Amino acid sequence: MKIAEAWARVKAVRTETLVRAACVLGLVALPFMVTSVFVPTVWPVLVALSFGQALGTLSFALYLVAIARDLQLARRLRSRDAKDDAR
């Protein structure tokens, strides 16, 4: 039930907002992921492999949600146009 509610909330967000949130999350995630290359000690590596990866994955997931929504919308518009043409 909670997942359905969360999904409904995501669906209500504008695509532009979703993509901007994905960009911000991506910008936050990138330094976390790369720091471990320059400082290969325990904490930077752990943070890169956990927090950095999680933020990066979430950012990409938001982008995919935005694209999926766009495709869904385009399909709906096409089917509506097809129905209109049929009438």
Partner 1 sequence: MSAEGGIDWIGWLSAASAVAAAGVLGMHLVRRPPLSGERGRNTKLWLLLGLGVFPITSAGTANVAGFAATQSRTFCGSCHVMEPHAEDSNDPRSQSLAAIHARNTSFGKDNCYACHKDYGMYGYVLTKAGGMRHVYLYLTEYHDMPLEESKHDIRILRPLPNANCMACHTTTAPRWLSIGDHASSLEAVRSGTVSCASAGCHGYAHPMTKLGKELDAGAAH
Query: How much helix, strand and coil, in percent to the nearest 5, is found in the chain?
Result: 90, 0, 10
What distance lies between CA 77 and its chain's CA centroid?
23
* Distance from C-alpha of 57 to C-alpha of 54, rounded to nearest angstrom: 5
The region of 4-12, 37-45, 78-86 touching partner 1 under the rule CB under 8 A is 37-45
Q: Does 34 bind partner 1 (CB under 8 A)?
A: yes
Give the interface with partner 1 as residue ranges (CB under 8 A): 15-16, 19-20, 22-24, 26-27, 29-31, 33-34, 36-38, 40-42, 45-46, 48-49, 52-53, 56, 59-60, 63, 66-67, 70
